[in-house]
Every structure is written in structure tokens, then in C-alpha cells.
Amino acid sequence: MIKFFTYIFLIFIFLSGSSSIEKNKNLEIKINWQKNLSGDFSFAKNWEYPEGVYRNDFGQLSCDGLCPTETERMKDENGKIYKDSLAKFYQLVDTTHLFHSIKSKTNSYEWAGANFISVKRISRDTIYCFTNKNIATHSSLILKITKDKCISEIELNSISGSIGKQIYACKKGAITIDRDLWHNGILKAKFDFIFEHPENPDKPLFWKGKIYSQINQNEK
């Protein structure tokens, strides 16, 4: 009988510990709403072409590496786009000016910078955000904003086969959002988050910065 109760007690402790971990993984941070959020958000005036698009030696917008295969037949041996192929080329290649929507820094793994964050409304009360990855950046900051709460995590899709996909939960932090712009469909925010780092607990991961982005409707 004593062994039975001891066994039940150990199970209870185990489940309690598991619950704490789950709770930690879903840490909710209270949003600080502010009128006319101050600070330097001039980064939002900077823009760049989509990844792989550049201006060639002939002054033409071209692309490299990420081009549709049929565009290769529209260029000569020097990379110049044939005059009679220009219109078709730009129907296939996106040369939109992409304005920067985030300025941040982090000590996360495999991160070489990120100038863009996708901000989507997935329900009436919830906004889902994630920084875009690229060839050199494999860590993404993820935010889920519901009413007055924000949940944050880092998602790493490592190119190292031994690591694979990792999620780092937020353990503490702060986020301030401009209330007036929020109601007008724009996310303007400052944030500073600290994340768990099981590989090196004495050196937590961090991600801090500013966001200025239109809130897009989720496509169904």
C-alpha cells in the first residue's frame, strides 16, 4: 500500500512538472498600449527588391538563383535581357519595392538579419506575426497577439541535420504597441524578449527591436 501511494505521489510530481513546462511554453506577456508610441521608426522608409532580384550591368532589373526557369532563355550570354522579352520577363519576375517592417537584433542561432515581418489577422481578436527567413537566416521570431496578451517564441529551422527544428519559449519580456495605429490596421511596436536556452542556460537567447507593419487579413 505504501508503495502504491508513493507511486501515485511520484506521478503527481511528474505531471505537475510537465504542466509547469507547458505553462512556461505559453507565457503570456501583458501588452503595454500607448498613444503615439515614440522612437525612431525611420527604418520603415527603407526598401529592397525581393530576394534574388538585382540591377545588372545594363541597368536592367534581373534575378539570380530564384528566377523562373523560362527567364533564362530571355537573356543573352552576358546576362542582358533581350529587348523584345522585357515585358514578359517582368510578368514573371516580381520587382516590387518591399519596405522594411522590422528592425531588430538577436543572439539566436543561424541568424544573419531580417528586415521583414509578416503580420496577419487570423481571427477577430488574434494577430499572428513571424519574421521572414532567407538563405542565410533560419531563425524566426513568432508573435501571437490576442487581445491584451502576447505569446512569443523563436523557431529555428536549422540547416544542420543534427539539430533540425527547435522552438525556444519566451521566459520574460515586454512589448509596447501604438493603440491608435493598431485600430487603423497598423502594428507599430517596441519589444524586448528573453527566451529559454536549454543548450546554454546561463546565456539566455534574446530578441529585441521595433516593428512597423500593415496588419493583413489572413487568406483563406
Please check the confidence at residue 19 and state whether its pLDDT lies above 50.
no
CA–CA separation, 157 vs 186, rounded Å? 28
Does residue 10 surpass a pLDDT of 70? no
Report the pLDDT value the prediction gives residue 160, as an integer from 0 to 100.
78
Beta bridge partners of 34: 178
Examine the domain organization and report whether 111 and 163 are in the same domain: yes
Task: Mark whether 209 and 134 lie in a shared domain.
Answer: yes
Alpha-carbon 207 to chain mean position: 11
Is position 194 within any domain? yes
Same domain, yes or no: 110 and 213: yes
Predicted confidence (pLDDT) at residue 179 exceeds the cutoff of 50: yes
- What are the cell numbers at 147? 487581445
Q: Is the pTM of this model over 0.95?
A: no
Q: Can you give the pLDDT at residue 52? A: 87
d(CA 119, CA 55): 29
My answer on whether 82 and 36 are in the same domain is no
Number of domains in the chain: 2
Distance (Å, rounded) from C-alpha 95 to C-alpha 49?
Answer: 6
Q: H helices then E strands: how many in the chain?
A: 3, 15
Mean pLDDT in residue range 54-73 = 90
Residues 82, 33 share a domain: no
The H or E element containing residue 62 is strand 61-63
pLDDT value for 204 = 95
Same domain, 154 and 136: yes
Asked if 124 and 41 count as a contact pair (C-beta separation under 8 A), the reply is no
Q: Which domain holds residue 178?
A: 26-41+104-217
pLDDT above 60 for 7: no
pLDDT grade for 134, boundaries at 50, 70 and 90: confident
Same domain? 161 vs 207:
yes
* One domain, residues 83 and 177: no
Evaluate whether residue 86 is within a structural domain: yes
pLDDT confidence of 173, banded at 50, 70, 90?
very high
